[in-house]
């Protein structure tokens, strides 16, 4: 697709400087972009490339003061990063709108239904009573079990498996290889040392505007629902156990795992490789540093780090002290020597 600088500026409510008729056909990083490409500058560390890049059009912050002449056409906006993200989203939507219809072969149950302007890719499986909303894209090799519901404008990428009875909201994105609704890890220990499987008869509810990364796993509840609240963003390779609840607009980075029945509040930030035990509460707005092991509930707004996780500020102080240990050891030995010398002098 080809867009002029004037068209781009209209999409992001920007002000142009330079040739408004110049066109671009693709995107590029400001340090690598070529003629005919669009770039953006949000991080001041990359400002030097603004004056040497070959990009035809560049989105910049409106407050940026130029230090040298620029050959590219500039589009000034309040926040270049947000504007560029909006532009990419618009471009992606335009590309996805070209996907329409049902490819063959697929299996669609006679009792399944789907809305207008949907795309269902080859080798997809839609079980009994499945309902898919308007403008939703179901990519190849997706499995939707019996009674699964998917809302409007959602995107289910290749190879996603959504087990029976699970509910996916509108404007949801689920990336390739993710499994939603697999059995929770429930086993009852027996007198002979064996384990008996506890049937997992609940489901998973993913509310609106959620994004789930690739190869994530979200287990169905034992009874009731495992719930991902609206606006939550989950990275790749995440494990969410049975009956967990993730609050609104919470973000969880890759390789983190949350054990059963834990409740995570809204606006929580969880770093990569975090492990959280079951049956605890993470308060609204809490922050958990990467590689932390959380073994007890975290208060709202509190930041924790380490394993076991503890107060973030205290941990930083401890780290600062630990770096000074060699120096402190040397000073202690000097003090011991001085004390010993004073004692010897007094005895003498």
Chain segment 293-305, per-residue pLDDT in tens:
999 999 999 999 9
For the segment 44-64, the average pLDDT, to the nearest whole number, is: 95
Active site (annotated) includes residue 157: no
Report the greatest alpha carbon distance in the chain: 105
Q: Provide the pairing of β-strand 293-294 with 245-246.
A: unpaired
pTM over cut 0.85:
no
Q: How much is the pLDDT for 99?
A: 82
Q: What are phi and psi of 87, to 5 degrees?
A: -65, -45
pLDDT for the residue numbered 348: 66
Alpha helices in 50-202 (DSSP H): 80-96
Q: Report whether pLDDT(50) > 70.
A: yes
Q: Which fold has domain 101-312?
A: UDP N-Acetylglucosamine Acyltransferase; domain 1 (2.160.10)
Confidence of residue 324 (pLDDT cuts 50, 70, 90): confident
Rounded mean pLDDT, 169-178 = 98
* Cα–Cα dist 331/315, whole Å: 24
Q: What is residue 205's predicted lDDT score, i.e. its pLDDT?
A: 98
Single out the catalytic residue among 175, 242, 279, 310: 242
The pLDDT of residue 177 is above 70: yes
Q: Given CA atoms 243, 249, 250, 254 in this order, what sign does their dihedral have?
A: positive
Q: What is the pLDDT of residue 340?
A: 86
Q: pLDDT confidence of 25, banded at 50, 70, 90?
A: very high
pLDDT in tens, 212-271: 999 999 999 999 999 999 999 999 999 999 999 999 999 999 999 999 999 999 999 999
Query: What value does the mean pLDDT take over residues 63-76?
Result: 95
Angle between helices 5-12 and 80-96 (to 10 degrees): 110
List, in order, residues 6 or more apart from 238 with CB less than 8 Å away. 212, 213, 216, 217, 252, 254, 255, 256, 257
- Prior bond of 105 cis (ω within 30°): yes
pLDDT in tens, 103-120: 999 999 999 999 999 999
What integer pLDDT is reported at residue 93 of this predicted model?
Answer: 78
The answer to whether 80 touches 41, Cβ cutoff 8 Å, is: yes
CATH of domain 3-96: 3.40.1390.10
pLDDT at 150 over 80: yes
- pLDDT of 320: 78
Residue-level pLDDT at 92: 80
Domain ranges of the chain: 3-96, 101-312, 313-347
Average pLDDT, the chain: 94
């Amino acid at each position: 697709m080809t867009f002029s600088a004037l068209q781009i500026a209209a999409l992001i409510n920007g002000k142009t400087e330079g040739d408004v008729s110049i066109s671009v056909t693709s995107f590029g990083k400001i340090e690598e972009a070529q003629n005919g490409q669009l770039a953006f500058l949000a991080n001041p560390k990359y400002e030097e490339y603004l004056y040497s890049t070959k990009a035809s059009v560049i989105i910049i912050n409106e407050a940026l003061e130029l230090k040298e002449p620029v050959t590219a056409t500039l589009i000034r906006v309040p926040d270049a990063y947000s504007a560029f993200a909006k532009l990419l989203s618009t471009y992606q939507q335009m590309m996805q709108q070209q996907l329409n219809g049902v490819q063959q072969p697929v299996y669609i149950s006679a009792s399944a239904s789907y809305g207008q302007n949907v795309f269902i890719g080859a080798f997809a499986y839609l079980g009994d009573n499945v309902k898919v909303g308007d403008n939703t894209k179901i990519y190849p090799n997706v499995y939707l079990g019996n009674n699964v519901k998917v809302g409007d404008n959602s995107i289910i990428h290749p190879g996603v498996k959504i087990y029976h009875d699970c509910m996916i909201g509108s404007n949801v994105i689920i990336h390739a290889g993710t499994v939603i609704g697999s059995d929770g890890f429930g086993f009852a220990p027996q007198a002979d040392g064996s384990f008996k499987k506890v049937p997992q008869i609940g489901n998973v509810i993913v509310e609106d505007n959620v994004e789930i990364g690739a190869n994530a796993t979200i287990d169905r509840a034992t009874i009731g629902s495992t719930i991902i609240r609206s606006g939550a963003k989950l990275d790749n390779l995440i494990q969410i156990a049975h009956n967990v609840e993730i609050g609104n607009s919470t973000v969880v980075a890759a390789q983190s795992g949350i054990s059963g029945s834990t409740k995570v509040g809204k606006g929580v930030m969880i770093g990569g490789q975090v492990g959280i035990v079951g049956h605890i509460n993470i308060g609204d707005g809490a922050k958990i540093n990467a590689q932390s092991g959380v073994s007890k509930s975290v208060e709202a707004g509190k930041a924790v780090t380490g394993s076991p996780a503890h107060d973030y500020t205290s941990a930083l102080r401890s780290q600062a002290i630990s770096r000074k240990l060699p120096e402190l050891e040397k000073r202690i030995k000097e003090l011991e020597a001085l004390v010993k010398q004073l004692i010897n002098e007094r005895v003498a």
